Each structure stands twice: as C-alpha cells, then as structure tokens.
Amino acid sequence: MSPPGQDSPSSGARLLTLGGWLVAAVAVAFLLRTRFQTATPATLPPLPEVAPSLATPAAVPADPSRGAVPVRAEAAVAIPDLEEIVARGMASVVVVETPRGKGSAFFVRAGTLLTNAHVVTGCSYVTIRKAGGETGTAYVGATAADYDLAVLTTSGSAANKVHLDLGTAGALRPGQEVLAIGAPLGLQNTVTRGIVSSLRQMGPVSVIQTDTAINPGNSGGPLLDRQGRVVGITSFIITSGTQPGAVAASQGLNFAVAIDHAKALLEGRSPAEGAQALQQPGNLIAPRTTPSDTENQQLQGLRTYEVRLAQLAAYAEALDQAWARLLAAGYQGQAPGTLEHGWFSVYERPDPPDAVLRGYEAAYKPIRAAAEDLKSKALAADEAARQAGVLPGARRELRQKYRLDYGGWGL
C-alpha cells in the first residue's frame, strides 16, 4: 500500500491515461467538427466552368454608342496647297470664244473639255485660248441644254496634257471652301474663293449655291473643292427672276451645275442619272414661268435694237451702190476686199484717199458724210440697247446678222 496522503503509482498512471484519452477525444472531436464544416457545400466558393485565360484578349472595336467619336475619312488625306490647286486649275482652264461672246471651259481628259451649253449655243466649232495664250479649235459634241452642259473635243496641238479630276457634289457641306477659275469679263486666269451655301434643286438639275464671285465669262469654268476636284460647273446667277446663263447683279447668289450630271453625260448616259442621290426636296428653286420687269425691258430693248439695225442696213445698201459707182469711174487702184462693206474703208484712210481720182472728190464727200452719219446712228442704237440691258453678245449677233459689225466703231 502507499503511504497516507500519497497516491499509489498505479492510480496515478490510470489518471494520466484517462487524461490522455480525454485530450485525444477532444482533439478528435474538434478535428471532426472542423472537417465537417469545411466540407459543407454551402460554404464552398463556386468553381468556374472554364479556367480564365492568361492570353492577351483580342482588340474590341470602339462602340460609337458609348461615346466614341468616329474619325472622318478625309482626316487622313493630305490637303494640297492652295497655290498647287490654283496652278493646276489654271493650266486646265481655257477661254471659249464664239461670235456671241466669251466663256470658260476646262479639260477633263487630253482632248475633252466641259463647259456650259449656253456658252456654245448655235456653234459647231469654237475657238479655245489656253492660259499661255495658245489658241486652237474645239468641236461642240454632246450637249444637254436642260442641264446647261456641253462637251467639247479637240485634237493635235489643241489637246492638253493637264486636266482636272472630277469629284462629286454629294460630298459637299454648307460652309465648305470652294474655288472658281475662269475668265470673268474677259480677264483670263482669274481665281475667286468662297464657301458652299447650299445644295439645291432646280427642276431636274442639282445645283450648288455659293457666294464665290461669278461674273460673265466665268460660265463653263470649274468649281473646285479643297482637294482640287471639280464639284460643279459655274453656270449662272439669280436675281428676281433669271434663267440659267443670265447676267445681273447677283449679291452672292451664284450657282454651279453639279458635276455629277456632267459625269453621266461624259459616260454616254442621261445627265438625270448622275445626281439622283443629290436631290434635296426641301431646297427647291421654283422655276419661273413669267418674265421679270428687267427681262421684259431687255426683250423690248433687243427688239428695238433689231428694228433700228434693219433700217441702218437699208441705208448701208444705198451706200454700197454709191460706192460701187465711185469704184467704177473715179477710183484708182485695188479696192479693199476684206471689209463687210467697201465704204468701211473711209474710216481708215485720209479724206479723200489718194486712190480717188482728181475731179471725183465731190462724189466722194457725200459718201464720206453718209458713212459718218450711219456710224453715229449705229453707236446711238447700241448705247440705247446697252442701257436697256441687252447683253453684248446679243448685240454683236444682231450686228453680224445685218452686216454692221465693224470693229473700227469700237463696238
């Protein structure tokens, strides 16, 4: 037995053994509880079906609906210098000379030009004058009077190596800068600059409204964008009521026929097919059916001028007979044969000329006086027609009709 107050060795061992089992039991219970909680499906994070890729994702295009601003296609296109555009334009533009007056045209290919129909009305051939002064002859080919368009063809030395590229009026926007090149008032190689005011519809014709200065002589010349491409053919200006090709104070209301019509004509198609997509019903120019007061005044002036010229033509025929009698009896030497009327020579020779034989001076003097009287009446009639608004080309055409277009009168 063990001494009193001391546990026996066997009892201590039993206690240690029992304590160890208790500790082990607690440890096992703790481990089991922990494992059970860890394995509870409700606490497990969901596993992804596909493992995330570490590769760089492909680029995603910008979505304009999320605020991305699209880049304009022309932003990447270099804009030529203004001087370069003008230089190429001048080398391609020519003056068109006809018995009615002058206009402009431009090369679109080596032997092909475009102009307005009203510039070449009534002509089969016209004279063209290049920027350097060289002249040539061009044949009037396809025309479309309703669209105020005409195609000219030429060959040989009159052909041109430099030509202009054709664009489209459909790309124009109000405020966009444009240039016009032509021969306003006969001043060849003239450049003017302005902006596009609007794209409008005038009957079947799509026209560009611009504040670019356009004057008589610009008709048929190109309207260029800032890339140097032709977007229109300068054609006419508008007042209270004018028709294409009319001349009057425009106050910035200038118009050019959309080049799209001309491109169709060049391809042998109807000009109507060229600008169908450009039509803007909200920007119409209503065609007028009644002439304005100004037009009535011009028409009346034209009629009065023709009546007066017809009277002067009868006077000129009487002078022709008197001149013929003088040539037959009292004139020595070769009679002038290059003038419309032989007696026109009295304005160019001494009074009387040496060719008049002695003794016939008295017969010459009334002829000279009659010629001076006819000259003064012709000048007065022309001035009255000018004040009535009759155009210079129309007056010249009538003078040619009545054989009274003598350059020495200054008309």
Provide the sign of the torsion angle of the four alpha carbons 260, 262, 264, 267, taken in this order. negative
Question: Residue 237: its pLDDT value, please?
Answer: 63
For the cut 50, the answer to whether the pLDDT of residue 66 exceeds it is no
Phi first, then psi, for residue 134 (nearest 5°) are -65, 145
Most confident of 22-36, 199-213, 267-281: 199-213
Catalytic residue among 197, 219, 235, 250: 219
Q: In this predicted structure, what is the pLDDT of residue 162?
A: 87
Q: What is the pLDDT of residue 114?
A: 97
> How confident is the model over 382-387, as a mean pLDDT?
90
- Catalytic: 341? no
pLDDT at 7 over 90: no
Residue 19: pLDDT over 50: yes
What's the mean pLDDT in 121-141? 90
Q: Are 293 and 380 in contact (CB under 8 A)?
A: no
pLDDT at residue number 394: 82
149 with 116: CB under 8 angstroms?
Answer: yes
**What amino acid is encoded at 402 in this protein?**
Y
Q: Rounded to an integer, what distance in angstroms lies between the CA atom of residue 149 and that of residue 265?
A: 8
Catalytic hit among 104, 148, 225, 405: 148
**Locate tokens 């090149």: which residue?**
181
Q: Which of 92, 84, 96, 90 is nearest to 111 (CA)?
A: 92
* Total Cβ atoms within 10 A of residue 258: 27
pLDDT at 292 over 60: no
Is the pLDDT score of 287 beyond 50? yes
What average pLDDT does range 40-53 have in this prediction? 44
Banded pLDDT at 346 (limits 50, 70, 90): confident
The mean pLDDT value of the chain amounts to 77
Q: Which fold has domain 82-158?
A: Thrombin, subunit H (2.40.10)
Q: Which residue in 176, 272, 262, 185 sits closest to 224, CA to CA? A: 176
SS3 call for 228: coil
Question: What confidence tier does 249 reach under pLDDT thresholds 50, 70, 90?
Answer: very low
Confidence of residue 99 (pLDDT cuts 50, 70, 90): confident
Q: Which of 1-5, 30-34, 171-175, 403-407 has the highest mean pLDDT?
A: 171-175
Element (H, E) at 129: strand 125-129
At 283 the pLDDT is 66
Cα 288 to Cα 243: distance, rounded to the nearest angstrom: 8
> What is the average pLDDT across 368-390?
90
Give the C-alpha separation, 338 to 275, whole Å: 50
Peptide bond before 4: cis, by omega within 30 degrees of 0?
A: no
Residue 219 appears among annotated catalytic residues: yes
Kindly name the residue from 104, 118, 341, 405 that is annotated as catalytic: 118
Backbone torsions φ then ψ of 388, nearest 5 degrees: -80, -5
> Helices in 66-155 by DSSP H: which ranges?
82-92
* 207: nearest Cα among 164, 149, 150: 149
Residue 311 has pLDDT above 80, yes or no: yes
Whether 240 is catalytic: no
Q: Phi and psi of 6, rounded to 5°?
A: -125, 140
pLDDT on residue 241: 42
> For the domain bounded by 169-278, which CATH number is listed?
2.40.10.10
